[in-house]
A = this chain, B = another copy of it.
């Protein structure tokens, strides 16, 4: 868990409620590095002004993480939260094949939050922003009468005809997934059981917890796939693989067959689900919080795609099935065909 405590700062009067809006904005501005020269107006005016790249389209996404719904103070640090909220948005841009450019921040803070926790939250976000060349150009701060909420809007750019949508899949396209699935769900479940996390010796489960806390959006891979037209459709797995499969197939007007034995389940997730008496495949398909990409690769583009698989800097790609004309999504397992488990629904109450 990265630095930053939510409450009880060294100076007890140093809460966000004591500081006020202007001081908070100044505090954030001081942590943000100098903006690149295509940011014409940054933090502090009525709005930000940026220069779009010539010949490119704007790609826009927004996501909000809510205390008690998406994260828990007991096991997510302010630094983690800042990092993750931006990661969730960059993952959406990656699934469109877009290069991330700018981010806007919406902070809704309980007045009792420690000011150093805000600093850590901003630093966590800026660490990821720096990694991907994203400029934080504006936002707003307001007081919450309830939980802390952190919203990010991210804007990226992509060339026309290089966009990866959910709707671009065709029957016969191969389905590939980056990394491994189930880590996010297993990591969260493990922390919910014990906020201090697994023993360091339990490496596989510790890796799941780390992935839950600091997901790495597949920004570079999404850009490579779009730029080279290696994939035809993509979706990120923030709501789980089962949900991603349903989104991609229904948007594309196709079905899919998925080989259950091919689904790459994170080692720690497999262990965790088995220890709970659950089917690891079921758990990995249903679980959310995996910021991997599911992509549809036309057979004609196999060689291009193979070339890109060599450029992923260690992130594996696994073929898990293919798109079909028949509209059903069929999961093939050794014990016969099964329907897909339901995906994670952010809204419905547990």
Interface residues of A (CB under 8 A from B): 16-17, 19-22, 24, 40-41, 44-52, 56-64, 66-70, 91-93, 95-96, 98, 102, 104-106, 108-109, 111, 137-147, 149, 151, 153-156, 158, 160, 163, 165-167, 234-236, 251, 345-349
Contact = CB atoms under 8 A, between A and B. Distances in A.
Contacts of A138: 60-62
Contact of A141 (B41, B44, B102, B347): B347
B95 A24 contact: no
B49 A57 contact: yes
Nearest to A158: B49
B47 A61 contact: yes
Contact of A96 (B49, B91, B109, B144): B49
A93 B144 CA distance: 25
Contacts of A346: 21, 141-143
A46 B61 contact: yes
Contact of A41 (B66, B67, B154, B165): B165
A5 to B, nearest CB: 20
A41 B57 CA distance: 11
Given A45-B167, A46-B95, A17 B347 contact: yes
B22 A345 contact: yes
Given A146-B145, A163-B40, A349-B17, A47 B92 contact: yes
A61 B49 contact: no
B108 A64 contact: yes
A49 B251 contact: no
Contact of A140 (B64, B141, B251): B64
Contacts of A102: 60
B349 A111 contact: yes
A92 B49 CA distance: 12
Contacts of A154: 47
Nearest to A64: B106
B104 A60 contact: yes
